[in-house]
């Protein structure tokens, strides 16, 4: 059975604290949502006070999307006839095939928010839906606050649904707008309601009680044919039900069709794309598509996964575009180290003496505050240095940084660096926005003369973590740098009681890694050339 996927990332998701999409962002996301295979894309509320959403619907017509782009809005005002209501007219002007119309299900909202009578609220729901249907639109009726309304007055809440049904709505969507309904009571309510209504129903849940996804899945089990939600769970307050969890649960565990298995493998990539566009940190601990979802750290877990993957994994990570990761830490056993080393030493096994040597070195460094979970570059350098197959191509002689501040005016930082490259001393000076930036520029000025490929390396991310906050300004810090050369991305780490030194360690490791990577690529090319004669 196919479940309709109704996405509200561009409307409900944009109401999340800290998220604001530009028109260009919304159009870009809409293209990617369509490519992912969702069935409905709710573009926003087109009203005269929101020119961005009005423009979105005009521009979206040019995209030739397969999904139904849907305008969202409310029933008419109690004092207006449908033909004189600005909201309904603007919804029609958006010129979408489908319109999501919300109305009040709760007596409290009818009398205290709309300030109309209960009978008047029922009438305006029916009139509004009928008016849009008469103008050739498919109406998805969102019964706002339905579960709170049902708990307050079940007969009245159902009466509002029947009004939308009489008006010609194609589907009735039961909304847990406050996110306060628990799964058990939601099940009881849906079991009653579905015996009364005569058209299909859908579900729209929020996560204020932490059960948004569970409620959506339970509603499908009870007969809902449409699921509304947002990707990454973005939304007002605690967010909406997360489609990144709903879709794989429905497809992989419950036997329903949503976007299809061939699209589901793109889920993690889409989730990360959305985080980038929203300028929000990607939640590593999200189920299914978080970077930590299939990351194994404990030695016994790693050993088990390497023997039988599903012994510690509920699905194959590749089904949602994720991958299995083994984390290097002081809890690691030989199996973890083997799995990491096999990336560049595929023939190594647990009995190889290198495994024990690398594990011992990792544990020593982690005792000092190092962490290699997000520093694959530093780990590979460590392993190759222990193995004796890589020697650093440059070495620090000394460096000095200077920061000058005059009154309220801060001047550029300056760095002086001396490094040894193959017995040749380079002495360079550079300025920067801060001491780390100045060090980076001075070091590159020296090294790029010998290693032009380092011009390709640029900083992607820079993070500082205080390791012993009780020591105040004397605390140790850990610096994690993410670098890229346009093809690969790698992380490096440094630890010190001095944030400049910790940054230097991570920074130089990032450049050492690039040089090592390029040298290995040359070696492999020579070996292939020799092998082919």
Mean pLDDT of the chain: 90
CA distance 391 to 369: 24
Specify the pLDDT at position 291: 82
Q: Are 80 and 116 in contact (CB under 8 A)?
A: no
Work out the average pLDDT over 463-469. Answer: 75
Specify the pLDDT at position 333: 59
**How do residues 44-73 score in pLDDT, each as one tens digit?**
999 877 788 889 999 999 999 999 999 999
For domain 395-530, the question of CATH label 3.40.50.740 is answered with no
CA distance 105 to 99: 19
Specify the pLDDT at position 525: 76
CA distance 449 to 463: 29
Tell me the CATH architecture of domain 4-259: Alpha-Beta Barrel (3.20)
**How do residues 92-108 score in pLDDT, each as one tens digit?**
999 999 999 999 999 99
pLDDT for 452 beyond 90: yes
pLDDT for 524 beyond 80: no
Three-state secondary structure along 122-150? HHHHHHHHHHHHHCCCEEEEEEECHHHHH
pLDDT for 331 beyond 70: no
What confidence category does residue 471 fall into, taking pLDDT thresholds of 50, 70 and 90? low
CA distance 418 to 162: 79
Fold matches, 4-259 and 395-530: no
**How do residues 69-83 score in pLDDT, each as one tens digit?**
999 999 999 999 999
**How do residues 302-328 score in pLDDT, each as one tens digit?**
667 767 778 888 999 999 998 877 666
- Kindly list the domain boundaries of the chain, sorted by start residue: 4-259, 295-370, 395-530
Percentage of the chain beyond pLDDT 90 is 64
Tokens of 453: 């490929």
pLDDT for 407 beyond 90: no
Nearest alpha-carbon partner for 516 in 492, 500, 496, 494: 492
Specify the pLDDT at position 125: 98
Q: Quick one: CA torsion of 439, 444, 446, 449, rounded to 10 degrees?
A: -170
Q: Are 27 and 56 in contact (CB under 8 A)?
A: yes
**How do residues 225-278 score in pLDDT, each as one tens digit?**
999 999 999 999 999 999 999 999 999 999 999 999 999 999 998 998 898 788
**How do residues 147-181 score in pLDDT, each as one tens digit?**
999 999 999 999 999 999 999 999 999 999 999 99
User: Would you say how long the chain is, in residues?
Assistant: 533
Residues 6+ apart with CB under 8 A from 386: 354, 357, 358, 361
**Partners of 296 in the β-ladder:** 326
CA distance 180 to 183: 10
């Amino acid at each position: 059975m196919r479940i309709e996927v109704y996405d509200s990332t561009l409307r409900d998701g944009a109401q999340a604290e800290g998220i604001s999409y530009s028109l260009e962002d919304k159009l870009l996301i809409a293209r990617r949502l369509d490519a992912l295979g969702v069935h409905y894309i709710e573009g926003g509320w087109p009203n005269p006070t929101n020119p961005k959403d009005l423009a979105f619907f005009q521009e979206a017509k040019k995209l030739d999307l397969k999904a139904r782009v849907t305008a969202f809005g409310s029933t008419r005002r109690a004092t207006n006839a449908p033909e004189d209501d600005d909201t309904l007219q603007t919804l029609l002007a958006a010129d979408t095939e489908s319109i999501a119309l919300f109305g009040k299900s709760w007596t409290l909202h009818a009398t205290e928010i709309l300030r109309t009578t209960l009978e008047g609220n029922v009438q305006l729901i029916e009139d509004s839906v009928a008016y849009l249907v008469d103008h050739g639109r498919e109406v998805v009726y969102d019964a706002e606050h339905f579960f709170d309304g049902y708990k307050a007055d079940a007969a009245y809440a159902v009466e509002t649904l029947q009004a939308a049904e009489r008006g010609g709505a194609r589907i009735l969507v039961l909304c847990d707008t406050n996110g306060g309904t628990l799964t058990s009571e939601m099940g009881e309510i849906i079991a009653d309601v579905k015996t009364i209504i005569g058209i299909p129903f859908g579900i729209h849940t929020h996560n204020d009680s932490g059960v948004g996804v569970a409620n959506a899945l339970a509603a499908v089990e009870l007969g809902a044919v449409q699921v509304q939600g947002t990707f990454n769970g973005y939304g007002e307050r605690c967010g909406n039900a997360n489609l990144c969890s709903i879709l794989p649960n429905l497809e992989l565990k419950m036997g329903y069709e949503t976007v299809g298995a061939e699209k589901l493998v793109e889920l993690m990539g889409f989730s990360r794309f959305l985080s980038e566009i929203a300028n929000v940190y990607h939640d590593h601990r999200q189920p299914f598509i978080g970077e930590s979802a299939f990351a194994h750290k404990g030695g016994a877990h790693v050993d088990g996964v390497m023997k039988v993957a599903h012994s510690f994994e509920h699905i194959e990570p590749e089904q949602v575009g994720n991958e299995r990761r083994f984390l290097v830490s002081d809890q690691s056993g030989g199996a973890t180290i083997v799995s990491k080393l096999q990336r560049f030493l595929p023939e190594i096994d647990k009995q190889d003496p290198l495994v024990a040597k690398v594990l011992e070195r990792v544990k020593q460094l982690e005792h000092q505050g190092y962490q290699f979970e997000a520093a694959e570059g530093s780990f590979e350098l460590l392993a190759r240095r222990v193995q004796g197959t890589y020697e650093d191509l440059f070495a620090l002689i000394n460096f000095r940084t200077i920061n000058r501040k005059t009154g309220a005016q801060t001047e550029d930082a300056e760095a002086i660096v001396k490094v040894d490259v193959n017995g040749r001393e380079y002495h360079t000076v550079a300025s920067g926005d801060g001491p780390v930036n100045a060090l980076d520029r001075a070091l590159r000025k020296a090294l790029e003369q010998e290693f032009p490929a380092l011009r390709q390396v640029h900083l992607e991310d820079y993070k500082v973590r205080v390791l012993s906050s009780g020591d105040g300004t004397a605390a140790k810090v850990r610096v994690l740098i993410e670098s890229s050369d346009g093809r690969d991305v790698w992380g490096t780490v440094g630890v010190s009681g001095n944030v400049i030194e910790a940054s230097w360690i991570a920074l130089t490791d990032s450049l050492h890694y690039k040089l090592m990577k390029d040298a290995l690529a040359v070696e492999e090319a020579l070996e292939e050339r020799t092998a082919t004669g």
